[in-house]
């Protein structure tokens, strides 16, 4: 998704791309939340693709909005805060989902449920938590202010997607710096 997202955001707008990404993620988690012990691996394919595509769509434009909403001298700090929030949020969400998953499985097993039913119940419960987070993402996207569209190149987008630990200057940034003199 990374190479396609900048084009999509340019065409639709960053806020709409983030919103659509979180909607796809929500739909995927809702479907997984309906899991039953009889499901086969194939039943998970489309919902997991929807989750992955949705997360890919929302990540870049949300980070772009964070850095585009501050003066140029604060872009590095905004990028750092955005990355930190994303990583901490992912870690906390993963820990919560794993805790819920394990607790539901243990409780259902202790109640005498079959192992497959207990696993399905744990996965469903964890997925519903992720639905809540995804819906909050949709609400964040709706509330997200407009920001200037990036004017970089496809090479800039590829470099930014590969540079997950720091902010890279792009041709859009360089052009902005030169224009200010």
Count other Cβ atoms within 10 Å, centred on residue 19: 22
Reply yes or no on whether the pLDDT at 2 is more than 90. Answer: no
Question: Exposure of 84 by Cβ count < 10 A (0-12 exposed, 13-18 middle, 19+ buried)?
Answer: exposed
Query: What percentage of the chain carries pLDDT values higher than 90?
Result: 54
**Within 13 Å, how many C-alpha atoms sit on residue 143's CB side?**
6
Task: Give 83-127 pLDDT, tens digit per residue.
Answer: 899 899 999 999 999 999 999 999 999 999 999 999 999 999 999
DSSP structural state of residue 74: G
How far is 31 from 16, CA to CA, in rounded Å?
23
């Amino acid at each position: 998704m990374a190479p396609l997202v900048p084009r999509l955001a340019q065409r639709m707008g960053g806020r709409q791309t983030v919103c659509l990404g979180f909607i796809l993620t929500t739909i995927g988690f809702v479907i997984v939340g309906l899991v039953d012990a009889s499901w086969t691996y194939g039943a998970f394919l489309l919902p997991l693709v929807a989750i992955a595509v949705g997360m890919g769509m929302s990540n870049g434009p949300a980070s772009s909005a964070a850095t585009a909403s501050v003066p140029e001298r604060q872009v590095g700090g905004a990028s750092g805060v955005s990355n930190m929030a994303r990583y901490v949020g992912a870690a906390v969400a993963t820990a919560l989902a794993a805790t819920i998953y394990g607790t539901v499985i243990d409780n259902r097993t202790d109640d005498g449920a079959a192992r497959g039913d207990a696993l399905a119940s744990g996965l469903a419960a964890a997925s519903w938590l992720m639905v809540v987070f995804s819906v909050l993402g949709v609400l964040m996207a709706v509330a997200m202010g407009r920001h200037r569209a990036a004017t970089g190149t496809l090479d800039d987008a590829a470099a930014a997607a590969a540079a997950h630990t720091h902010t890279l200057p792009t041709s859009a940034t360089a052009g902005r710096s030169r224009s200010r003199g």
